[in-house]
Structure 1
């Protein structure tokens, strides 16, 4: 099976945006998992909005996968694409799953990380990335891993999306994905059986992924924003999306965050992206997948220790939060260097050509093929 497609250079600053999204999710989970903090006022709602970092991850994922395909048509080798994606995402996922599974299975530790002791059936469901489709399964091992399962399913659908894009254009595909999201969430709101209406599965998130693809098409077509115009649109879209934390937008929540994530990605196609490229935040973002995979167990296992810190909520939040962040960064670096990066390189060696090279190829940065995903927390 082949699909007509193309290649292109990467957009600077994408990793920095990933890093910000990962930090937002981390902060959200501090508020959700450290209930002893008793955050005052509207702070709990503001912190909870960080969960939508996963929406941004999904937009970035669609953008990065589609960017090499936008422009001149060339064949995409679908088996090679699937092989490389599997090597890119599954080895670090399975390592993180093994760590979380041990914690959730052992009698001495399960109470720290899950609501009930996990079973081998729970582990098997996570191995096949089907946990989000079974009611009550998302939090049985590591609640954050549902978004990795979602990424796997989006990767499987990606070649079909590219076929539709080539046949009808990206706009009809995006409209169809938005309609699917609204219908799916609306059906759930009417009281349909689970998982109908769940925002953890493909029907509720496909529009965000396709929105990222549309950003790639727009940038390759020469669409750029001035910094001033981009900041205004980004601010409006983000404020509308953040309103979902206090104002229930119902079935439009996913669409609002697709708009916010897309505006952020488009904003990178200019001076802002070049300024962020190569920064500390950009380097952290390159490790954001490993960070995301490990952050929840660190927060949950460390919670009893943080709760003992004297000084109350301010000290526990700042000191405990920074300590947990530092530990997660350290463990993520080990996972990144020991598993994620080697498996990524192994995938490129085993599946060297996913898109056939043109006669005079444009430079393609290897980092375009990074794991562009990830991630959101289990609802808390």
Structure 2
């Protein structure tokens, strides 16, 4: 009997696309001096200014707001095929397939992006007349232990400041790998506890991560983007997926959308008035809750056929499909572009200035290369290898297309 293919929710790709664009544009405008002499450059600058105005409280002493959305989305997607169908995890070979698919889908792009970061770092290193920007790497030196930490994805669990090696954005990807490893524990909380206990566990974990930032032996760079801190946002995504699977139409109701809109208003108000140092302790959890509520509302609306594809929807959906490759490559490309305008423009025009169009076009081209020749083949290989470990698992119990 032929099994039905799992439904792919394009709303997830849209959210991925918006989050990815916000991260890339923020890094571009904040790190590259843009001349703003044309409409496109001015539009990019205005977008980032508006974005940071809305999320300024969430961006202080925390990961980029777009990264928070990514983490919530990651937890949502990983749990979506399992939610309300826990019999699947008892099937022979399920966890073997899960582990293989997660690693094979992520590792090739990650390692290729690490090499791209090293290339950018070496390019700066051998351009002695140009000072290495702090946002690309703290030092131009390359230590073999740092390379092992980076390529081995063990940096997030070491109690030390993160290493960049030309691609600091990959820290989030490595952290996500460790979140996947913790999924069985999160699943145990969901299966064996009530909703009240789930919330208590989440709150206690968050309090513990806040307490870690007060310890003198914990580096600040590790504490604010650590595995425990990201686990809180990831679990919110997991909880949201569990709620959606049990109540697939609830998010599209008046009550569902009103809660989403209310969280959006609270988030904007808190970010606009939160100028004190500890504001992120409130604003970031609200952002994570808003992201989870928005995912539920969007997927419920798509489930009922209320979301139709338009040009903008298709554009962000296409970006969302490529969001992992986009996120993995954008920092080294920005670093190389900054090197070019420093080395060749600055001697003739004074302070280096560039255009937003050139680096964005380059990032788009490199992203497409990574997506077509590394990420897509990795997905196919992950499916084939995963099924070698789970030959007796029916199609209906396998991980679906949204993960």
Residue equivalent to 2:40:
none
Tell me, yes or no, if structure 1 residue 251 matches structure 2 residue 275. Answer: no
TM-score, with structure 2 as normaliser: 0.77
Aligned ranges for residues 1-380 of structure 1 at < 5 Å?
Answer: 9-34=7-32, 43=49, 45-46=52-53, 49=59, 51-76=64-89, 77-105=94-122, 107-108=125-126, 111=132, 113-117=136-140, 118-132=142-156, 133-169=158-194, 171-189=196-214, 191-194=216-219, 198-222=223-247, 223-226=250-253, 229=258, 232-239=261-268, 242-243=271-272, 246-248=275-277, 249-271=279-301, 274-275=307-308, 279-305=314-340, 308=345, 320-352=355-387, 353=390, 356-357=393-394, 361=396, 366-369=400-403
Q: Deviations for 1:115-147, whole angstroms, at most 9, x for unmatched residues?
A: 312222211111121223353333343110110
TM-score, with structure 1 as normaliser: 0.81
The alpha carbon displacement at 1:103 in A equals 2.6
Q: Looking at CA atoms only, which structure, 1 or 2, has the larger radius of gyration?
A: 2
4+ runs of 1 displaced by more than 6 Å? 36-40, 309-313
Note the residue ranges of structure 2 that are not aligned, 5 or more in a row.
Answer: 37-44
Q: Deviations for 1:287-337, whole angstroms, at most 9, x for unmatched residues?
A: 010000010111122125557499999x96xx7223212211111010001
2:309 and 2:224 map into 1 onto residues whose CA distance is 31
Number of residue pairs the alignment of both structures matches? 356
1:201 and 1:12 map into 2 onto residues whose CA distance is 30
CA RMSD in angstroms, aligned pairs only: 3.6
Cα separation, partners in 2 of 1:276 and 1:14, compared to 1, 3 Å:
farther
The alpha carbon displacement at 1:175 in A equals 3.1
The alpha carbon displacement at 1:246 in A equals 4.2
Is contact 1:207-1:258 (8 Å) kept?
A: no
Q: Deviations for 1:153-188, whole angstroms, at most 9, x for unmatched residues?
A: 001000121122111145533431332122222331
Q: Deviations for 1:322-356, whole angstroms, at most 9, x for unmatched residues?
A: 32122111110100010001011101011125994
Is contact 2:161-2:221 (8 Å) kept?
A: no
SS at structure 2 position matched to 1:224: helix
Q: Deviations for 1:25-80, whole angstroms, at most 9, x for unmatched residues?
A: 1122123322677989x949538749210100011111111111112332322122
